[in-house]
Structure 1
Amino acid sequence: MVKRQIESKVEGPERVRSKRASTRNVVLAETDGNARLETEVTDGTPDKLSTRDTRSQMSATDTSRTSFARHLPARVGAAQTSDAPTAAPRRSSRRSSRQLSASAAPHAEGVDVKLEKADETKTPVDEAESVDARKAEEEGAAGEMRSVRTKTEFPRRGLAPTDELSAYELERLANIARNEEVLRALELDVSSSALRESARSRPKPTARGVGRPKEKAEHGPIRRSGRHAGLEAEFAGGIVSESADGKVLTLANGDIIGSGKAAFKAANGASEAKERVVEPQLPFRSHVAKDAALEEEWAASTAADEKQTPLQRERAQSLLPEMTGAREAAEKADQAMLELLASATSPAAFRKGSGGLNEGADDGSDENGSGKASKGSKGGSDAGTVWTSGIGLSALEKVHLDESDAVKVTVKATVHLKFQPRGDTLCVAAGDKDGNVSLWHADRASDSASDGVFLCAPHTQYISGLEWSAHDAGVLYTASYDGTVRALHPQKGSWELLYSRTHSEFSAFTLSAPSETTTLWLGSSDGRLSARDTRSPSETLAPVAVHANKVNCLSMCGARPYLLASAGTDRAVRVWDVRKLGAKPKPLAEMLSSNSSQSAEWSPDGRASLLTTHWDDRLRIYDGLGLDTAPAPKAREIKHCTRTGRWVVPFRAVWTPAGDGVVVGAMDRSAVIFNASNGSKANVLRSPEIMTAIPSRNTVHPSLPVVACATNSGRLHLYRA
Structure 2
Amino acid sequence: MNAPPAVLHTPGFAHYNAAWSPFHPSRIALASSANYGLVGNGRLHIAASNMGPGGPAAVAVEKFYETQDGLFDVAWSEIHENQLVSASGDGSIKLWDVMLNDRPIRAWHEHTREVFSVDWSNLKKDQFISCSWDGMVKLWSPEHPRSLATLQAHHACVYQALFSPHQPDVLATCSTDGTIRLFDLRAPAFAPTSNSFTAPLSSPSLTVPASGTEILSIDWNKYRPFTLASAGIDKIVRVWDCRMVKLGVVPGGAESGGAVGGVCESQLMGHEYAVRKVQWSPHRPDMLASASYDMTCRIWSTNPPAGRPHLVRIHDGHTEFVVGCAWSLYEEGVLASCSWDSNLHVFRV
TM over 0.5: yes
Aligned partners of 1:616 and 1:642 also within 8 Å: no
Q: Deviation at 1:491?
A: 4.1
SS in 2 for 1:486: strand
* Structure 1: distance between partners of 2:335 and 2:291: 11
Show the counterpart of 1:440: 96
2:96 partner amino acid: W
Describe the shift of the 1:553–1:630 C-alpha distance in structure 2 as closer, same or farther (beyond 3 A).
Answer: farther
SS in 2 for 1:651: strand
Show the counterpart of 1:660: 333
Describe the shift of the 1:434–1:655 C-alpha distance in structure 2 as closer, same or farther (beyond 3 A).
Answer: same
Show the counterpart of 1:278: none
Show the counterpart of 1:608: 286
CA deviation vs aligned residue, 1:59-116 (integer Å, no higher than 9, x gap): xxxxxxxxxxxxxxxxxxxxxxxxxxxxxxxxxxxxxxxxxxxxxxxxxxxxxxxxxx
Q: Give the 5 Å matches for 1:341-356.
A: none
Show the counterpart of 1:485: 137
Aligned partners of 1:642 and 1:651 also within 8 Å: no
Q: Deviation at 1:635?
A: 2.9
Aligned partners of 2:320 and 2:339 also within 8 Å: no
Match of 2:172 among 511, 514, 521: 521
Show the counterpart of 1:217: none
RMSD, matched Cα: 3.2
2:232 partner amino acid: G
Aligned partners of 2:93 and 2:109 also within 8 Å: yes
Describe the shift of the 1:494–1:573 C-alpha distance in structure 2 as closer, same or farther (beyond 3 A).
Answer: same
CA deviation vs aligned residue, 1:193-230 (integer Å, no higher than 9, x gap): xxxxxxxxxxxx9xxxxxxxxxxxxxxxxxxxxxxxxx
Unaligned runs of 5+ in 1: 1-204, 206-349, 356-390, 645-649, 677-721
Aligned partners of 1:415 and 1:433 also within 8 Å: yes
Show the counterpart of 1:414: 71
* Structure 2: distance between partners of 1:517 and 1:416: 21
SS in 2 for 1:674: strand
Show the counterpart of 1:401: 61
Q: Deviation at 1:577?
A: 0.5
CA deviation vs aligned residue, 1:267-296 (integer Å, no higher than 9, x gap): xxxxxxxxxxxxxxxxxxxxxxxxxxxxxx
* Structure 2: distance between partners of 1:567 and 1:591: 10
1:535 matched to 2:186: yes
1:620 partner amino acid: R
1:641 matched to 2:339: no
Unaligned runs of 5+ in 2: 1-10, 12-21, 26-48, 190-201, 247-259
1:544 matched to 2:208: yes
Q: Deviation at 1:608?
A: 3.3
Higher relative contact order, structure no. (Cα contacts within 8 Å, ≥ 6 residues apart) = 2
Describe the shift of the 1:491–1:430 C-alpha distance in structure 2 as closer, same or farther (beyond 3 A).
Answer: closer
SS in 1 for 2:263: coil
Number of residue pairs the alignment of both structures matches = 277
* Structure 1: distance between partners of 2:154 and 2:223: 33
SS in 1 for 2:323: coil
1:549 partner amino acid: T
Q: Deviation at 1:533?
A: 0.3
1:475 partner amino acid: Q
* Structure 2: distance between partners of 1:500 and 1:629: 44
Q: Give the 5 Å matches for 1:298-697.
A: 393-394=51-52, 397-402=57-62, 405-408=63-66, 410-422=67-79, 425-444=81-100, 451-501=103-153, 503-513=155-165, 515-536=166-187, 537=189, 539-582=203-246, 583=260, 585-592=262-269, 593-625=271-303, 633-641=310-318, 643-644=320-321, 651-657=323-329, 658-666=331-339, 668-676=341-349
* Structure 2: distance between partners of 1:565 and 1:595: 17
The percentage of counterpart residues that share the same residue type is: 19
Describe the shift of the 1:483–1:614 C-alpha distance in structure 2 as closer, same or farther (beyond 3 A).
Answer: same
2:149 partner amino acid: L
Aligned partners of 2:207 and 2:261 also within 8 Å: no
Where is the strand percentage greater, Structure 1 or Structure 2? Answer: 2
2:282 partner amino acid: P
Q: Deviation at 1:532?
A: 0.9
Describe the shift of the 1:506–1:666 C-alpha distance in structure 2 as closer, same or farther (beyond 3 A).
Answer: closer
Describe the shift of the 1:525–1:574 C-alpha distance in structure 2 as closer, same or farther (beyond 3 A).
Answer: same
Show the counterpart of 2:38: none
Where is the helix percentage greater, Structure 1 or Structure 2? Answer: 1
Aligned partners of 1:531 and 1:541 also within 8 Å: yes
Aligned partners of 2:76 and 2:84 also within 8 Å: yes
Aligned partners of 1:460 and 1:482 also within 8 Å: yes
Aligned partners of 1:508 and 1:551 also within 8 Å: no
CA deviation vs aligned residue, 1:501-534 (integer Å, no higher than 9, x gap): 4633322221112x32321211121211211101
Show the counterpart of 1:698: none
Aligned partners of 2:277 and 2:290 also within 8 Å: yes
* Structure 2: distance between partners of 1:485 and 1:630: 43
Q: Deviation at 1:559?
A: 1.5
Q: Give the 5 Å matches for 1:16-35.
A: none
1:661 partner amino acid: V
* Structure 1: distance between partners of 2:129 and 2:230: 19
SS in 1 for 2:125: coil
TM-score (norm 1): 0.35
Q: Which runs of 4+ in 1 moved over 6 A?
A: 627-632
Q: Give the 5 Å matches for 1:247-258.
A: none
* Structure 1: distance between partners of 2:343 and 2:135: 33
CA deviation vs aligned residue, 1:564-621 (integer Å, no higher than 9, x gap): 0001111111000111245464310101222111111001124431001122232211
Aligned partners of 1:614 and 1:642 also within 8 Å: no
